[in-house]
Chain A
Protein backbone atom coordinates (compact mmCIF):
# COMPACT_ATOMS: atom_id res chain seq x y z
CA UNK A 1 0.00 0.00 0.00
CA UNK A 2 2.63 2.66 0.86
CA UNK A 3 4.04 2.30 -2.63
CA UNK A 4 0.67 3.14 -4.10
CA UNK A 5 0.32 6.28 -2.05
CA UNK A 6 3.76 7.54 -2.98
CA UNK A 7 2.89 7.14 -6.63
CA UNK A 8 -0.28 9.13 -6.04
CA UNK A 9 1.64 12.00 -4.45
CA UNK A 10 4.22 11.88 -7.21
CA UNK A 11 1.42 12.16 -9.71
CA UNK A 12 -0.08 15.12 -7.86
CA UNK A 13 3.12 17.13 -7.60
CA UNK A 14 3.28 17.06 -11.38
CA UNK A 15 -0.38 17.86 -11.79
CA UNK A 16 -0.83 20.66 -9.28
CA UNK A 17 0.47 24.06 -10.33
CA UNK A 18 2.16 26.58 -8.10
CA UNK A 19 -0.85 28.88 -8.56
CA UNK A 20 -3.18 26.19 -7.16
CA UNK A 21 -1.47 26.05 -3.78
CA UNK A 22 0.30 29.40 -3.29
CA UNK A 23 -0.82 31.93 -0.71
CA UNK A 24 -2.28 34.99 -2.41
CA UNK A 25 -2.19 37.41 0.50
CA UNK A 26 1.44 38.39 0.77
CA UNK A 27 2.85 40.44 3.65
CA UNK A 28 5.60 42.68 2.30
CA UNK A 29 8.09 45.26 3.58
CA UNK A 30 9.98 48.09 1.83
CA UNK A 31 13.77 48.50 1.60
CA UNK A 32 13.59 51.47 3.96
CA UNK A 33 11.75 49.61 6.74
CA UNK A 34 14.11 49.60 9.78
CA UNK A 35 15.51 46.16 10.61
CA UNK A 36 14.43 46.67 14.23
CA UNK A 37 10.77 46.54 13.09
CA UNK A 38 11.21 43.25 11.28
CA UNK A 39 10.78 41.10 14.36
CA UNK A 40 7.35 42.57 15.12
CA UNK A 41 6.19 42.16 11.52
CA UNK A 42 7.29 38.53 11.34
CA UNK A 43 5.85 37.68 14.76
CA UNK A 44 2.48 39.41 14.22
CA UNK A 45 1.97 37.62 10.91
CA UNK A 46 3.46 34.33 12.08
CA UNK A 47 5.88 34.20 9.17
CA UNK A 48 9.63 33.72 9.02
CA UNK A 49 10.47 35.84 6.02
CA UNK A 50 8.95 38.30 3.58
CA UNK A 51 9.56 39.85 0.14
CA UNK A 52 10.90 43.38 -0.05
CA UNK A 53 8.97 45.57 -2.48
CA UNK A 54 9.87 48.99 -3.85
CA UNK A 55 7.52 50.87 -6.22
CA UNK A 56 5.64 47.68 -6.89
CA UNK A 57 8.78 45.74 -7.83
CA UNK A 58 10.40 42.89 -5.97
CA UNK A 59 13.90 44.04 -4.94
CA UNK A 60 14.82 41.40 -2.37
CA UNK A 61 13.75 39.02 0.32
CA UNK A 62 14.45 39.16 4.05
CA UNK A 63 14.07 36.36 6.56
CA UNK A 64 14.48 35.61 10.24
CA UNK A 65 18.01 34.39 9.51
CA UNK A 66 19.04 37.82 8.23
CA UNK A 67 17.54 39.30 11.38
CA UNK A 68 19.50 36.92 13.59
CA UNK A 69 22.71 37.80 11.70
CA UNK A 70 22.01 41.48 12.32
CA UNK A 71 21.42 40.80 16.03
CA UNK A 72 24.52 38.61 16.37
CA UNK A 73 26.79 41.20 14.80
CA UNK A 74 25.41 43.83 17.14
CA UNK A 75 25.08 46.21 14.18
CA UNK A 76 23.33 49.55 14.61
CA UNK A 77 19.74 49.91 13.44
CA UNK A 78 19.52 50.45 9.70
CA UNK A 79 17.26 49.79 6.71
CA UNK A 80 16.26 46.30 5.61
CA UNK A 81 17.96 47.07 2.27
CA UNK A 82 21.35 46.53 3.93
CA UNK A 83 20.57 43.00 5.08
CA UNK A 84 18.19 41.55 2.52
CA UNK A 85 19.08 39.00 -0.15
CA UNK A 86 18.92 40.71 -3.52
CA UNK A 87 19.21 37.76 -5.82
CA UNK A 88 15.75 36.28 -5.33
CA UNK A 89 14.73 32.91 -6.71
CA UNK A 90 11.14 33.15 -7.97
CA UNK A 91 8.44 30.95 -9.45
CA UNK A 92 5.83 31.33 -12.15
CA UNK A 93 2.26 30.47 -11.22
CA UNK A 94 1.93 27.92 -14.03
CA UNK A 95 4.98 25.86 -13.02
CA UNK A 96 4.21 22.38 -11.73
CA UNK A 97 4.52 22.02 -7.99
CA UNK A 98 7.40 19.57 -8.41
CA UNK A 99 9.62 22.34 -9.79
CA UNK A 100 8.80 24.56 -6.84
CA UNK A 101 9.60 21.79 -4.38
CA UNK A 102 12.91 21.17 -6.15
CA UNK A 103 13.80 24.86 -6.01
CA UNK A 104 12.90 25.08 -2.31
CA UNK A 105 15.17 22.09 -1.70
CA UNK A 106 18.03 23.11 -3.94
CA UNK A 107 18.36 26.71 -2.71
CA UNK A 108 17.34 25.98 0.86
CA UNK A 109 14.93 28.90 0.99
CA UNK A 110 11.78 28.82 3.08
CA UNK A 111 9.63 30.75 0.63
CA UNK A 112 9.58 31.72 -3.03
CA UNK A 113 7.64 34.68 -4.49
CA UNK A 114 5.28 33.70 -7.32
CA UNK A 115 4.94 35.75 -10.51
CA UNK A 116 2.32 35.78 -13.26
CA UNK A 117 4.05 34.90 -16.50
CA UNK A 118 2.03 37.34 -18.61
CA UNK A 119 1.91 40.45 -16.41
CA UNK A 120 5.26 39.84 -14.68
CA UNK A 121 3.61 40.91 -11.42
CA UNK A 122 4.05 39.22 -8.06
CA UNK A 123 0.76 37.49 -7.26
CA UNK A 124 1.58 35.22 -4.33
CA UNK A 125 4.12 33.36 -2.27
CA UNK A 126 4.82 29.67 -1.83
CA UNK A 127 6.24 27.97 1.27
CA UNK A 128 6.85 24.30 1.96
CA UNK A 129 3.84 24.45 4.27
CA UNK A 130 1.60 25.71 1.45
CA UNK A 131 2.77 22.85 -0.78
CA UNK A 132 1.94 20.26 1.87
CA UNK A 133 -1.48 21.74 2.63
CA UNK A 134 -2.25 21.91 -1.11
CA UNK A 135 -1.28 18.28 -1.59
CA UNK A 136 -3.30 17.12 1.41
CA UNK A 137 -6.40 18.94 0.24
CA UNK A 138 -6.09 17.40 -3.19
CA UNK A 139 -5.55 13.95 -1.75
CA UNK A 140 -8.63 14.34 0.42
CA UNK A 141 -10.87 15.26 -2.52
CA UNK A 142 -9.49 12.39 -4.59
CA UNK A 143 -9.85 10.05 -1.67
CA UNK A 144 -13.51 10.88 -1.21
CA UNK A 145 -14.14 10.29 -4.89
CA UNK A 146 -12.29 6.99 -4.83
CA UNK A 147 -14.15 5.86 -1.73
CA UNK A 148 -17.33 5.65 -3.73
CA UNK A 149 -15.87 3.12 -6.11
CA UNK A 150 -14.44 0.89 -3.46
CA UNK A 151 -17.60 0.27 -1.44
CA UNK A 152 -18.15 -3.44 -1.32
CA UNK A 153 -21.92 -3.61 -1.30
CA UNK A 154 -22.06 -4.40 -4.99
CA UNK A 155 -22.78 -8.07 -4.67
CA UNK A 156 -25.26 -7.85 -1.87
CA UNK A 157 -28.09 -9.42 -3.86
CA UNK A 158 -25.90 -12.30 -4.99
CA UNK A 159 -24.61 -12.85 -1.47
CA UNK A 160 -27.99 -13.04 0.19
CA UNK A 161 -29.61 -16.47 0.17
CA UNK A 162 -33.35 -16.06 -0.31
CA UNK A 163 -35.98 -16.56 -2.98
CA UNK A 164 -36.65 -12.85 -2.97
CA UNK A 165 -34.88 -10.00 -1.18
CA UNK A 166 -35.20 -6.25 -1.15
CA UNK A 167 -33.59 -3.23 0.39
CA UNK A 168 -35.74 -0.40 1.65
CA UNK A 169 -34.52 3.20 1.90
CA UNK A 170 -36.71 5.91 3.37
CA UNK A 171 -36.27 9.64 3.03
CA UNK A 172 -38.21 12.30 4.91
CA UNK A 173 -38.88 15.43 2.92
CA UNK A 174 -39.55 18.62 4.81
CA UNK A 175 -42.03 21.14 3.51
CA UNK A 176 -41.66 24.88 3.09
CA UNK A 177 -39.04 27.11 1.63
CA UNK A 178 -35.79 25.67 2.97
CA UNK A 179 -34.48 24.78 -0.47
CA UNK A 180 -30.92 24.36 0.74
CA UNK A 181 -31.47 20.79 1.85
CA UNK A 182 -33.87 19.97 -0.92
CA UNK A 183 -32.57 17.36 -3.31
CA UNK A 184 -30.75 15.53 -0.54
CA UNK A 185 -33.05 12.50 -0.88
CA UNK A 186 -32.42 12.20 -4.60
CA UNK A 187 -28.71 12.65 -4.07
CA UNK A 188 -28.67 10.05 -1.27
CA UNK A 189 -30.63 7.57 -3.36
CA UNK A 190 -28.31 8.02 -6.32
CA UNK A 191 -25.20 7.51 -4.20
CA UNK A 192 -26.70 4.39 -2.63
CA UNK A 193 -27.74 2.91 -5.98
CA UNK A 194 -24.27 3.51 -7.39
CA UNK A 195 -22.78 1.78 -4.36
CA UNK A 196 -25.02 -1.17 -5.04
CA UNK A 197 -23.41 -1.32 -8.45
CA UNK A 198 -26.55 -0.37 -10.37
CA UNK A 199 -25.61 1.06 -13.73
CA UNK A 200 -25.19 4.84 -13.72
CA UNK A 201 -27.86 5.43 -16.36
CA UNK A 202 -30.49 3.60 -14.29
CA UNK A 203 -29.33 5.31 -11.10
CA UNK A 204 -29.61 8.66 -12.87
CA UNK A 205 -33.18 7.99 -13.96
CA UNK A 206 -34.19 7.01 -10.44
CA UNK A 207 -32.48 10.10 -9.07
CA UNK A 208 -34.15 12.51 -11.50
CA UNK A 209 -37.62 11.11 -10.82
CA UNK A 210 -36.98 11.25 -7.08
CA UNK A 211 -35.71 14.79 -7.30
CA UNK A 212 -38.77 16.03 -9.18
CA UNK A 213 -41.08 14.30 -6.72
CA UNK A 214 -39.08 15.60 -3.80
CA UNK A 215 -39.46 19.19 -5.00
CA UNK A 216 -43.20 18.72 -5.51
CA UNK A 217 -43.55 17.34 -1.97
CA UNK A 218 -41.72 20.35 -0.66
CA UNK A 219 -43.45 23.05 -2.68
CA UNK A 220 -46.99 21.72 -2.91
CA UNK A 221 -47.59 19.26 -0.08
CA UNK A 222 -45.67 20.64 2.91
CA UNK A 223 -43.38 17.64 2.89
CA UNK A 224 -43.85 13.90 2.73
CA UNK A 225 -42.13 10.56 2.62
CA UNK A 226 -40.10 8.88 -0.12
CA UNK A 227 -39.65 5.13 0.06
CA UNK A 228 -37.38 3.29 -2.34
CA UNK A 229 -37.52 -0.48 -2.55
CA UNK A 230 -34.60 -2.00 -4.37
CA UNK A 231 -34.84 -5.51 -5.68
CA UNK A 232 -32.42 -7.39 -7.85
CA UNK A 233 -34.23 -6.48 -11.06
CA UNK A 234 -36.25 -3.39 -10.29
CA UNK A 235 -36.45 -0.23 -8.24
CA UNK A 236 -39.78 0.88 -6.81
CA UNK A 237 -40.09 4.42 -5.55
CA UNK A 238 -43.15 5.62 -3.68
CA UNK A 239 -43.79 9.23 -2.69
CA UNK A 240 -46.64 9.98 -0.32
CA UNK A 241 -47.94 13.12 1.31
CA UNK A 242 -51.03 14.27 3.15
CA UNK A 243 -51.07 17.65 1.44
CA UNK A 244 -53.93 19.34 -0.44
CA UNK A 245 -54.05 16.76 -3.24
CA UNK A 246 -54.36 17.41 -6.97
CA UNK A 247 -57.74 18.40 -8.39
CA UNK A 248 -57.15 17.30 -11.94
CA UNK A 249 -54.42 14.71 -12.37
CA UNK A 250 -54.54 14.73 -16.18
CA UNK A 251 -54.05 18.46 -16.20
CA UNK A 252 -51.17 18.24 -13.68
CA UNK A 253 -49.46 15.67 -15.91
CA UNK A 254 -49.63 17.93 -18.96
CA UNK A 255 -46.21 19.37 -19.84
CA UNK A 256 -46.20 23.07 -18.97
CA UNK A 257 -49.01 23.00 -16.43
CA UNK A 258 -47.96 24.50 -13.14
CA UNK A 259 -49.50 26.21 -10.14
CA UNK A 260 -46.11 27.16 -8.71
CA UNK A 261 -46.15 30.53 -6.92
CA UNK A 262 -43.70 33.29 -7.84
CA UNK A 263 -41.12 32.49 -5.16
CA UNK A 264 -40.87 28.93 -6.49
CA UNK A 265 -40.48 30.23 -10.05
CA UNK A 266 -37.71 32.57 -8.98
CA UNK A 267 -35.71 29.51 -7.88
CA UNK A 268 -35.90 28.09 -11.39
CA UNK A 269 -38.87 25.76 -10.83
CA UNK A 270 -42.42 25.89 -12.11
CA UNK A 271 -41.82 24.92 -15.73
CA UNK A 272 -44.62 22.40 -15.28
CA UNK A 273 -42.30 19.66 -16.50
CA UNK A 274 -41.72 17.74 -13.28
CA UNK A 275 -44.37 15.03 -13.53
CA UNK A 276 -43.65 14.66 -17.24
CA UNK A 277 -39.96 14.16 -16.46
CA UNK A 278 -40.88 11.53 -13.89
CA UNK A 279 -42.95 9.70 -16.46
CA UNK A 280 -40.15 9.66 -19.01
CA UNK A 281 -37.69 8.37 -16.44
CA UNK A 282 -39.93 5.58 -15.18
CA UNK A 283 -40.95 2.30 -16.74
CA UNK A 284 -44.25 2.46 -14.90
CA UNK A 285 -45.90 5.32 -13.14
CA UNK A 286 -49.04 5.65 -11.10
CA UNK A 287 -50.36 8.88 -9.61
CA UNK A 288 -53.29 8.82 -7.18
CA UNK A 289 -54.58 11.91 -5.50
CA UNK A 290 -57.58 12.89 -3.43
CA UNK A 291 -58.27 16.53 -2.75
CA UNK A 292 -57.97 17.25 0.97
CA UNK A 293 -56.40 13.86 1.69
CA UNK A 294 -53.12 13.70 -0.15
CA UNK A 295 -51.17 12.36 -3.08
CA UNK A 296 -49.40 9.09 -3.78
CA UNK A 297 -46.99 8.64 -6.65
CA UNK A 298 -45.46 5.29 -7.43
CA UNK A 299 -42.91 4.49 -10.07
CA UNK A 300 -41.00 1.45 -11.13
CA UNK A 301 -37.65 1.49 -12.85
CA UNK A 302 -36.39 -1.78 -14.24
CA UNK A 303 -32.82 -2.80 -13.64
CA UNK A 304 -31.54 -4.44 -16.79
CA UNK A 305 -32.25 -3.98 -20.46
CA UNK A 306 -36.00 -4.47 -20.87
CA UNK A 307 -36.96 -0.82 -20.68
CA UNK A 308 -38.16 -0.04 -24.21
CA UNK A 309 -40.77 -2.77 -24.33
CA UNK A 310 -42.28 -2.28 -20.92
CA UNK A 311 -42.40 1.50 -21.21
CA UNK A 312 -45.41 1.48 -23.51
CA UNK A 313 -47.52 0.28 -20.66
CA UNK A 314 -46.85 3.34 -18.55
CA UNK A 315 -50.14 4.21 -16.96
CA UNK A 316 -51.48 7.18 -15.16
CA UNK A 317 -54.64 6.83 -13.15
CA UNK A 318 -56.49 9.34 -11.08
Chain B
Protein backbone atom coordinates (compact mmCIF):
# COMPACT_ATOMS: atom_id res chain seq x y z
CA UNK B 1 0.00 0.00 0.00
CA UNK B 2 1.00 3.62 -0.35
CA UNK B 3 2.30 5.70 2.52
CA UNK B 4 -0.69 7.98 2.22
CA UNK B 5 -3.01 4.99 2.73
CA UNK B 6 -1.07 4.16 5.88
CA UNK B 7 -1.69 7.72 7.08
CA UNK B 8 -5.39 7.36 6.49
CA UNK B 9 -5.67 4.00 8.25
CA UNK B 10 -3.68 5.20 11.26
CA UNK B 11 -5.27 8.67 11.31
CA UNK B 12 -1.68 9.83 11.27
CA UNK B 13 -0.23 13.24 10.60
CA UNK B 14 3.10 13.88 9.05
CA UNK B 15 5.64 15.48 11.37
CA UNK B 16 7.70 17.28 8.76
CA UNK B 17 6.07 18.55 5.65
CA UNK B 18 8.62 19.26 2.98
CA UNK B 19 8.27 16.00 1.08
CA UNK B 20 4.62 15.27 1.72
CA UNK B 21 3.43 15.19 -1.86
CA UNK B 22 6.07 12.82 -3.09
CA UNK B 23 6.53 10.59 -0.04
CA UNK B 24 2.79 9.93 0.09
CA UNK B 25 3.12 7.83 -3.04
CA UNK B 26 5.99 5.73 -1.68
CA UNK B 27 5.19 2.06 -1.51
CA UNK B 28 5.11 0.29 1.86
CA UNK B 29 5.30 -3.50 1.55
CA UNK B 30 5.53 -4.57 5.19
CA UNK B 31 5.56 -3.34 8.74
CA UNK B 32 7.65 -3.82 11.88
CA UNK B 33 6.88 -2.63 15.39
CA UNK B 34 9.08 -2.35 18.47
CA UNK B 35 10.28 -0.09 21.24
CA UNK B 36 13.70 -1.73 21.47
CA UNK B 37 16.49 -0.61 19.16
CA UNK B 38 18.17 -4.00 18.96
CA UNK B 39 14.87 -5.64 18.08
CA UNK B 40 14.41 -3.09 15.33
CA UNK B 41 17.91 -3.85 14.10
CA UNK B 42 17.10 -7.54 13.84
CA UNK B 43 14.39 -6.75 11.29
CA UNK B 44 15.20 -7.12 7.64
CA UNK B 45 14.01 -5.82 4.39
CA UNK B 46 13.74 -2.32 3.04
CA UNK B 47 10.34 -0.85 2.08
CA UNK B 48 9.08 -1.49 5.61
CA UNK B 49 7.22 0.90 7.86
CA UNK B 50 8.48 1.17 11.43
CA UNK B 51 5.96 1.65 14.25
CA UNK B 52 7.53 2.68 17.53
CA UNK B 53 7.06 4.55 20.77
CA UNK B 54 10.70 5.61 20.87
CA UNK B 55 11.18 9.22 19.86
CA UNK B 56 14.94 9.77 20.11
CA UNK B 57 17.66 10.23 17.51
CA UNK B 58 18.68 6.59 17.69
CA UNK B 59 15.44 5.30 16.26
CA UNK B 60 16.02 7.53 13.22
CA UNK B 61 19.56 6.11 12.92
CA UNK B 62 18.16 2.60 13.02
CA UNK B 63 15.65 3.45 10.30
CA UNK B 64 18.40 5.01 8.22
CA UNK B 65 20.65 1.96 8.51
CA UNK B 66 17.83 -0.42 7.60
CA UNK B 67 16.32 1.73 4.83
CA UNK B 68 12.85 1.91 6.34
CA UNK B 69 10.35 3.78 4.16
CA UNK B 70 9.02 5.81 7.07
CA UNK B 71 8.60 5.86 10.84
CA UNK B 72 5.27 6.24 12.59
CA UNK B 73 5.27 7.22 16.26
CA UNK B 74 2.40 5.76 18.26
CA UNK B 75 0.19 7.00 21.11
CA UNK B 76 0.43 10.64 20.16
CA UNK B 77 4.13 10.95 20.84
CA UNK B 78 6.09 13.63 19.03
CA UNK B 79 9.73 12.95 18.15
CA UNK B 80 12.49 14.99 19.76
CA UNK B 81 13.73 17.99 17.73
CA UNK B 82 17.16 16.43 17.04
CA UNK B 83 15.36 13.34 15.77
CA UNK B 84 13.26 15.42 13.37
CA UNK B 85 16.37 17.19 12.16
CA UNK B 86 18.20 13.94 11.41
CA UNK B 87 15.12 12.54 9.67
CA UNK B 88 14.92 15.63 7.47
CA UNK B 89 18.62 15.31 6.66
CA UNK B 90 18.19 11.69 5.69
CA UNK B 91 14.86 12.22 3.95
CA UNK B 92 12.94 9.79 6.16
CA UNK B 93 9.25 10.73 6.44
CA UNK B 94 7.92 10.82 10.02
CA UNK B 95 4.29 10.23 10.97
CA UNK B 96 2.52 10.48 14.31
CA UNK B 97 -0.66 8.60 15.19
CA UNK B 98 -2.81 9.03 18.29
CA UNK B 99 -3.47 5.25 18.26
CA UNK B 100 -1.81 2.87 20.71
CA UNK B 101 0.69 0.36 19.36
CA UNK B 102 -1.70 -2.62 19.42
CA UNK B 103 -4.48 -0.78 17.66
CA UNK B 104 -2.08 0.65 15.05
CA UNK B 105 -0.62 -2.78 14.27
CA UNK B 106 -4.06 -4.35 14.18
CA UNK B 107 -5.47 -1.86 11.72
CA UNK B 108 -2.54 -2.19 9.32
CA UNK B 109 -2.59 -5.99 9.52
CA UNK B 110 -6.33 -6.05 8.90
CA UNK B 111 -5.81 -3.77 5.92
CA UNK B 112 -3.50 -6.38 4.43
CA UNK B 113 -0.06 -5.04 5.31
CA UNK B 114 2.05 -8.09 6.24
CA UNK B 115 4.74 -8.40 8.89
CA UNK B 116 8.23 -7.85 7.54
CA UNK B 117 10.49 -10.85 7.29
CA UNK B 118 13.51 -11.22 9.47
CA UNK B 119 15.43 -12.62 6.55
CA UNK B 120 17.89 -10.89 4.39
CA UNK B 121 19.58 -13.56 2.39
CA UNK B 122 19.93 -15.77 5.41
CA UNK B 123 17.70 -16.96 8.27
CA UNK B 124 18.29 -15.60 11.75
CA UNK B 125 19.96 -18.29 13.83
- Chain A interface (Cβ within 8 Å of chain B)? 15-17, 19-20, 137-138, 141, 144-145, 179-180, 182-183, 186-187, 190, 200-201, 204-205, 207-208, 211-212, 215, 267-274, 276-277, 279-280, 307-308, 311
Contacts and interface: CB of A to CB of B under 8 A. Distances in A.
B64 interface: yes
Given A141-B91, A183-B61, A271 B122 contact: no
A215 to B, nearest CB: 8
B56 to A, nearest CB: 6
A20 B23 CA distance: 12
A44 to B, nearest CB: 28
A82 to B, nearest CB: 39
A-B complex: 6 closest residue pairs judged by Cβ atoms: A183-B61, A273-B38, A271-B38, A271-B36, A207-B65, A268-B54
Contact of A138 (B18, B36, B41, B58): B18
Contacts of A144: 91
Counting chain B CB atoms within 10 Å of each CB, which of A15, A145, A183 scores highest? A183
Interface in B17-46: 17-22, 35-39, 41-42, 46
A219 to B, nearest CB: 11
B21 A20 contact: yes
A180 B61 contact: no
Nearest to B62: A211
A208 B39 contact: no
B66 interface: yes
Contact of B57 (A141, A183, A204): A183
B68 to A, nearest CB: 11
A35 to B, nearest CB: 36
A96 to B, nearest CB: 8
Nearest to B35: A268
Interface residues of B, number: 32
A137 B57 contact: no
B59 A268 contact: yes
Contact of B65 (A20, A201, A211): A211
Contacts of A267: 37, 54, 56, 58
14 contacts: A15-B21, A16-B21, A17-B20, A20-B20, A179-B58, A183-B57, A190-B65, A201-B121, A212-B41, A267-B54, A268-B58, A271-B36, A280-B122, A311-B122
A296 B46 CA distance: 31
Nearest to B123: A280
Nearest to A210: B65
Given A179-B56, A273-B38, A200 B21 contact: no
A271 B22 CA distance: 36
B5 interface: no
A178 B8 CA distance: 37
A187 B65 contact: yes
Contact of A180 (B59, B82, B121): B82
B38 A186 contact: no
B110 interface: no
B39 A204 contact: no
A273 B34 CA distance: 13
B125 A279 contact: yes
Given A201-B120, A277-B38, 15 more contacts: A16-B21, A179-B58, A183-B58, A190-B65, A204-B67, A205-B120, A208-B41, A211-B41, A212-B41, A268-B56, A269-B36, A272-B38, A273-B38, A273-B39, A277-B42
Contacts of A201: 120-121
Contacts of A272: 38
B57 A274 contact: no
Contacts of B39: 271, 273
A133 to B, nearest CB: 11
A311 B123 CA distance: 11
Contact of A280 (B17, B22, B124): B124
